[in-house]
Structure 1
Amino acid sequence: MKSLAIFASGSGTNAENIIRYFSNSEFFKVAIVLSNKQGAGVHERAKKLNVPSISFSKEAFESGEAILDILKTYQIDFIVLAGFMSKIADNLLAAYPHKIINIHPALLPKFGGKGMYGMHVHRAVIASGETKSGISIHYIDEHYDEGPIIFQAECPVFADDTPESLCERIHQLEHKWYPEIIEKVLTD
């Protein structure tokens, strides 16, 4: 059985979806959720699904040492970023090479990089006049949103879209594809 850690900063809908997806798996389990925000909604979602969750300060995530200790304690094999809003420390990247993936709410390499997350991305996509958007699932490296792309899925951008309406379509893609692609990466 491979153990996964989910890193999340927000309400945790993707984290909950992933936990539910793997809840009956014989091969994979979500062992812990880590967050850089004590009041993040992901903690309540994890608690309801009987998955431990821990908050760490921004400084702890930046140094990575305490995070590595927790990952070793829980014998984590793979890390999934699900709405995680901090840069991953170099020592974590070194300890988990090609074993940390992220989902981004746009078709990378467009609309990626520092500060491009959530509604900022959807506003930028609409303002640019793009006719399509989507999701990108990728390995992470030392740069924001530049790691090798594993998978992308598209959706249309309509002329009357708002950032909120585009966000809803993007969330549907995230919930459909992220758990499946995680499983595929883990079994390849």
Structure 2
Amino acid sequence: MKRVAILASYNGSGFEALYNAAKKSELSIEIPLIISNNSSAKVIEKAKNYGIDSFIVNSKTADNPDEKIEELLKEYQCEYLFLSGYMKKVSVNIVKNFKVINSHPALLPNYGGEGMYGRFVHEAVIKSGEKISGVTVHEVNENYDDGKIILQKKLQLEENESVDSLETKIKNLEQITIVEAFKNI
């Protein structure tokens, strides 16, 4: 069974997709650890409700947050690290020592890179007049949204698509894509 740690800054909806798939035995994974850089992140409350150990790791709680994250990953014997809406760049050392996976709310390589997350991505997709968008689950390397693609799923944009409607569709598609990608890993 693979041990997967979660890094999340807010809600951690991707974490919930993995957690629920593991509970239903769709995935052979265990999630022993959740780390957030945000002390008011909802994912911390979810972790407590599910009985999963959680930690706040940021510049206020650790002299070197990246080192602390790496220590926790080793302590909890995690082979994988899933970024579920984590808003910080992961250190090169972590990328080299663990299999780091991210979900991006667009079809990479388009609409990726620094500053391209959440609503910013959907706004850019709509502004560009795209007819198709989707979700990309990829390996993480030292560059933003540049790692090897594991799985992409597409969806058609409606003629009158709004940022809100696209965001909802992408979040729903993301839940499915994340689980399917982990089945392929």
Is 2:137–2:177's contact at 8 Å kept on the other side of the alignment?
no
Is 1:62–1:88's contact at 8 Å kept on the other side of the alignment?
no
Q: Which secondary structure state, in structure 2, belongs to the residue aligned with residue 125 of structure 1?
A: helix
Task: Give me the CA root mean square deviation.
Answer: 1.7
Match of 2:97 in 1: 95
Q: Which has the higher contact order (CA 8 A, sep 6+)?
A: 2
Q: 1:92 and 1:13 mapped to 2: Cα distance?
A: 22
TM-score, normalised by the number of residues in structure 2: 0.93
Unaligned runs of 5+ in 1: none
Counterparts in 2 of 1:31-180, with a 5 A limit?
31-58=32-59, 60=62, 64-96=66-98, 99-180=99-180
Is 2:114–2:144's contact at 8 Å kept on the other side of the alignment?
yes
Is 1:119–1:167's contact at 8 Å kept on the other side of the alignment?
yes
Unaligned runs of 5+ in 2: none
Q: Which secondary structure state, in structure 2, belongs to the residue aligned with residue 177 of structure 1?
A: helix
Structure 1's consecutive aligned runs of 4 or more residues displaced over 3 angstroms after TM superposition are 24-27, 58-63
Is 2:152–2:177's contact at 8 Å kept on the other side of the alignment?
no
Q: Which secondary structure state, in structure 1, belongs to the residue aligned with residue 167 of structure 2?
A: helix
1:51/1:177 Cα in 2 relative to 1: closer, same or farther (>3 Å)? same
Is 1:63–1:89's contact at 8 Å kept on the other side of the alignment?
no
